[in-house]
Structure formats: structure tokens, C-alpha cells
């Protein structure tokens, strides 16, 4: 599968919201850690970018397709999308910081 990567002009882009999910926990398995599992929740597990710009062709995005957003990962259309605004959820990141964190231990 081939694709074309390009930058989008803000003047020609559509506005959208991005929800960037990361790991829910700061440790691999909170059930084997001491204390309450809630102590290990990753406070950065959800980052919401409310004012993002996207390619105008995404106006026709469907729930069954996924889209690569340059340098951010793969996204899918969220059910919260409507005529007033589109919402995309990251499903896969391009870089995995988890392995880097594990090496620090």
C-alpha cells in the first residue's frame, strides 16, 4: 500500500479534535505492585488536542477506515463526531516510549 505524505495549509484545512491515548498505567502490571492500583494510573494517558487541523478530504472519513496522521500515528473517526466537529482517536502511535521507560528501571 502506498500513500502520499504532505503538509496541510491551515487556510485550507478542516478543524478537528484529536484524542491521543497512551498506556493507562505507569507500570506493566499494576496487580503485582504494592498498594492500590489507582496509584499507578498514568495521568498522561489521555491528551486532547481540541483545535487541530486536518486534510479537507477527511470530511468524508468513515468509521471503518483508519488514517495515518504524519508523525503522530494512526487514527480512527470517533462516534462523537458530527457536523459541528470531527473527532479522531489515536489507535496506534508511531513510536513506543514504553520500551525506553523499561530500560530506565
> pLDDT band for position 4 (50/70/90)?
low
Give me 73's grid cell.
Answer: 500515528
> pLDDT band for position 94 (50/70/90)?
confident
pLDDT in tens, 40-87: 999 999 999 999 999 899 999 999 999 988 778 899 999 999 888 999
pLDDT in tens, 6-28: 677 889 999 999 999 988 999 99
What is the predicted pLDDT for the residue at 95? 72
Domains annotated on the chain, with CATH: 14-104 (2.40.240.10)
Give CA–CA dist 27/41, Å, rounded. 8
Give CA–CA dist 80/87, Å, rounded. 6
The position carrying cell 505507569 is 26
Residues 15 and 51 sit within 8 Å (Cβ to Cβ): yes
Amino acid at each position: 500500500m502506498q500513500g502520499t505524505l504532505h503538509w496541510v495549509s491551515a487556510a485550507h484545512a478542516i478543524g478537528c479534535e484529536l484524542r491521543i491515548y497512551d498506556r493507562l498505567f505507569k507500570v506493566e502490571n499494576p496487580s503485582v505492585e504494592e498498594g492500590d492500583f489507582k496509584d499507578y494510573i498514568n495521568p498522561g494517558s489521555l491528551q486532547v488536542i481540541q483545535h487541530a487541523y486536518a486534510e479537507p478530504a477527511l470530511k468524508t472519513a468513515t468509521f471503518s477506515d483508519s488514517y495515518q496522521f504524519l508523525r503522530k500515528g494512526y487514527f480512527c473517526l470517533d462516534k462523537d463526531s458530527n457536523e459541528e466537529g470531527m473527532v479522531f482517536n489515536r489507535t496506534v502511535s508511531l513510536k513506543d516510549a514504553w520500551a525506553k521507560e523499561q530500560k530506565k528501571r
